[in-house]
Amino acid sequence: MVYLGAFRLPDGRSEIGWDWGGSALTYYPDGDPGGPTDGFPGSLYGTGNDQNQWVSEVGIPEPVISAGKNPKDLNTATTLQGFSDIRGGLGEWPLEIPRVDLEYLPALGEQTAGKLYFAWAPHMGEGETGPTHGWADLDLSDPHSAGLWRIDDYWNYVTGDYLFAIPGSWADTYAPGKHLATGRFRDGGQGAQGPSVFAVSPWEEGNPPRSGSTIPAVPLLLYDSVTDPGAHTLDGYHHSDEWSGAAWPTSGDRSALVFVGTKGTGDNWYGCADGTVWEPPYPPACPDGGERGWWSTGFVGQILFYDPADLGAVARGNAPAWDPQPYAAMDIDPFLFHVDARQQKYHVGAVAFDRARGLLYVMEPHADGDKPLVHAWRID
């Protein structure tokens, strides 16, 4: 993986713009057809401010490496479609700490045009088993959104976030017809003690599937929940981990499932950053006024790499869903702009992949004031 640099996102209205955004991202190969011939064609769709999570489309400028990690050194993306609410009144809003992702796929099944798939789910609380997924047209001003659908009989805690394309050759071999992956990671181990992935194909259930439909899913990765009697977890698992994005990059005949996120290191506990451990009944606040939650001694931005053959064994029923483990982990903090404390959380956000050029785009929240930056790697 060769680091190419980063670029900025446009300014806009704080409440619906890129400020406090970057929780969802996908690459659209036919976007920005009139853009510059700089080796970065296509466009990115992503969500803005997490209070509203409206969707915008931007062109992709040439990434720049800033030796001093100064956002002013970087090129800025241009807006192709302004922020719009593509939920179309589907489901309740607002959600409690909403989780979201997007993925573009070309026309499949009886579809006549490509779709923008979406997943919206609450962090916790009611709706743990409710419908979460849908699709929309690419015109954000007239999206014709359809849904919402459940993912099999699984909790939203393991399905209601990641969306990414499964390479066609792998899907044809191990999960025929299922070219879309979904999943999630939730801190505290509720749902699974590590990230999860399922292969799905909503287009096989209708064009579109009926609202409230259940979409069959093939599990590819699913560790034990903290409430399960077993103890099958991600190696080195911490309850404070945050795997915020996923993709399935390919390069020639090589491929890997990758998760991008913030890995807890050292010890971990529930309470305050200063090491105060909380148990019920919880006090009203941390002594220093900081955030109550899952903490670790330190945090590091990482990319985890899984061997697709291990996922294939699960899909074929030759291995349990908790069996795959990463074969490598890459620390990416040296490339990030906004990591300035050992216990800083949320180093990175959503991920998108340009398969034709082997380009992996990764969001870094709050790296340009309140806006995220987008970093780019080329996979050789």
| Domain total in the chain | 1
Cβ pair 241, 262 in contact under 8 A:
yes
pLDDT of 126 higher than 70:
no
Domain of residue 67 covers 2-378
Q: 358 burial class (0-12, 13-18, 19+ CB within 10 angstroms)? A: middle
Give the DSSP letter of residue 194.
S
pLDDT single digits (tens) 150-181: 999 999 999 999 999 999 999 999 999 999 99
Residues 6+ positions from 196 with CB-CB distance below 8 Å: 158, 159, 183, 184, 185, 219, 221, 222, 223
pLDDT of 127 higher than 60:
no
Residues 6+ positions from 323 with CB-CB distance below 8 Å: 232, 310, 313, 314
Rg (alpha carbons) of the chain, rounded to whole number: 20
Residues 6+ positions from 82 with CB-CB distance below 8 Å: 12, 56, 140
pLDDT of 214 higher than 70:
yes
Cβ pair 290, 320 in contact under 8 A:
no
Q: Which helix (H) or strand (E) holds 313?
A: helix 308-315
Query: What is the model's pTM?
Result: 0.97
Q: What angle do CA 174, 179, 184 make, to 5 degrees?
A: 95
DSSP string over 218-236 = EEEE-PPPTTSSS----TT
The rounded distance, in Å, linking the Cα atoms of 315 and 312 is 5
Return the CATH number at 211: 2.115.10
User: Mean pLDDT across the stretch 218-240?
Assistant: 95
Q: Which residues pair with 99 in a beta bridge?
A: 121
> Which pLDDT score, from 0 to 100, does residue 330 have?
98
Q: What are phi and psi of 343, to 5 degrees?
A: -100, 20
